[in-house]
Copies of this chain bind each other. A is one copy, B any other.
Amino acid sequence: MKTITIENAIVLPKGFRAAGVHAGIKKSGDPDMTMIVSELPDTAAAGTFTTNQVKAAPVKVCLKRIRSGKGRGVVINSGNANACTGKGGEADAEAMARAAARAAGVPVSSMYVCSTGHIGARLPMDKILAGIETLGAALSPDGAMNAVRGIMTTDNGPKFGTVRLKIDGKPVTLSVMCKGAGMIEPNMATMLCFVMTDAAVDRKALAAALKAAVKESFNRISVDGDMSTNDTVLLFANGAAGNKPLKPGHPDWKKFDAALLALCQRMAWMIIRDGEGAKKVIKVEVVGARSGKDAELAARSVANSLLVKTSWHNDYPNFGRIMDALGYSPAKIVENKVDMAYDGKLLVKGGLRTGIDVEAIKAVQRQELFTIRINLNLGKGASHVFSCDCAHAYIDINI
């Protein structure tokens, strides 16, 4: 298979329009509302959502709609999460959907809703509803960049990407926009991600492909171990490209599937790279675990340890803290079997420091990206998680 080229641009696929505006929710004056709409009535939709037991009102609204496997668009506000807002908050989210559907000229049942920002306050519905009117009027095939800006919160920059493919010989576009920097943990992060494609895709295949892609992208990053109430990934496929519906068995299915995964991984990468206050990305790879589950538990224990993350901020390889985090993970660990390599340089063998020059490891840890590969030497289970260092700036952002 050819390497997938992700363009550092956001081009809406055929039949999509988008807009982003400042509705007055953020005091900064930055864009704080976004709408994305597909013009085609028969647009398939798939979604994955936070597994937090405390779900924001818009997530509850999305969960009701996603069972249909269909959807025409989504309206998003940033600056307020509409979480922990009870029945009133749910009514607000439904009112957002109603107003957005009317403004976009699509059925209410096909309009999704997302919110991101502070938890625990009701939405300023007057501003929201006025913003939706403006959004409806501003929808445009060229509105993607404004739309990206409207979903940002603590992000240092916009996160997006586009892949162009040929499916049945016809040009197909997949484009993605995403936000997220903090509150990033296993099983979805405080993140919103919207993928649009003009490919025609079978609904069931679309849902399965998205689930698999999310598992290998957003669910493999951890900024601070805090799983959000609002996490949402939505994927719309409107079929405007005119290909035969994609599903496993279609000769171009794997190409599409790989492009979707690549886009999700790029977005996950951009989130972790933008981890609040972080300067480095660390891939924690665990191999030789008793099982895949054990490998994941061990990797997450290391990736989420505050002491380990703090040590990454510096360049000294504090492998003892990693051993400690392995030891208290629920995964089976045998101390004198553990090997640990930094970008291939073996620092720990059989639980003990090797004779390697610490300066060689410091050089690895000074990089913006490096891999710590941990071999538990107990079996064949393997997994990995991307993490980042923890610095003062994390506290400054969240205080």
The answer to the question of A145 belonging to the interface, with a C-beta cut-off of 8 Å to chain B, is: no
Distance of A310 from chain B, by nearest CB (Å)? 4
**Most chain B Cβ neighbours within 10 Å, of A320, A325, A351:** A320
- Residue numbers in B under 8 Å from A311 (CB-CB): 398-399
Q: Is the CB of A323 within 8 A of B84?
A: yes
Distance of A215 from chain B, by nearest CB (Å)? 17
Q: Is the CB of B333 within 8 A of A53?
A: yes
Identity of the chain B residue whose Cβ is nearest the Cβ of A85 in the assembled complex: B352
Identity of the chain B residue whose Cβ is nearest the Cβ of A317 in the assembled complex: B120
Query: CA–CA, A85 to B321, complex, Å?
Result: 13
The answer to the question of A370 belonging to the interface, with a C-beta cut-off of 8 Å to chain B, is: no
**Most chain B Cβ neighbours within 10 Å, of A182, A185, A225:** A225
Q: How many residues of A contact B (CB 8 A)?
A: 57
Q: Is the CB of A52 within 8 A of B327?
A: yes
Query: CA–CA, A118 to B321, complex, Å?
Result: 9
The answer to the question of A258 belonging to the interface, with a C-beta cut-off of 8 Å to chain B, is: no
- Residue numbers in B under 8 Å from A321 (CB-CB): 119, 226
- Residue numbers in B under 8 Å from A352 (CB-CB): 84-86
Copies of the protein in its oligomer: 2
Q: Is the CB of A310 within 8 A of B84?
A: no
The answer to the question of A32 belonging to the interface, with a C-beta cut-off of 8 Å to chain B, is: no
Identity of the chain B residue whose Cβ is nearest the Cβ of A304 in the assembled complex: B225
The answer to the question of A9 belonging to the interface, with a C-beta cut-off of 8 Å to chain B, is: no
The answer to the question of A284 belonging to the interface, with a C-beta cut-off of 8 Å to chain B, is: no
- Residue numbers in B under 8 Å from A86 (CB-CB): 336, 350-352
Jot down 8 A-B pairs with beta carbons below 8 A, ordered by A: A53-B335, A55-B335, A84-B319, A86-B336, A229-B324, A310-B394, A390-B395, A392-B392
A: residues with CB less than 8 A from B are 51-55, 81, 83-86, 118-121, 182-183, 185, 224-229, 305-307, 310-311, 313-314, 318-321, 323-328, 332-336, 348, 350-353, 390-392, 394-395, 398-399
Query: 6 closest pairs, A vs B, by CB?
Result: A119-B320, A54-B327, A120-B320, A52-B327, A227-B328, A53-B327
* Other A-B pairs beyond A120-B323, A224-B306, 13, CB < 8 Å: A54-B327, A54-B351, A84-B352, A120-B319, A120-B353, A121-B353, A183-B307, A226-B325, A226-B328, A227-B324, A227-B328, A229-B320, A313-B399
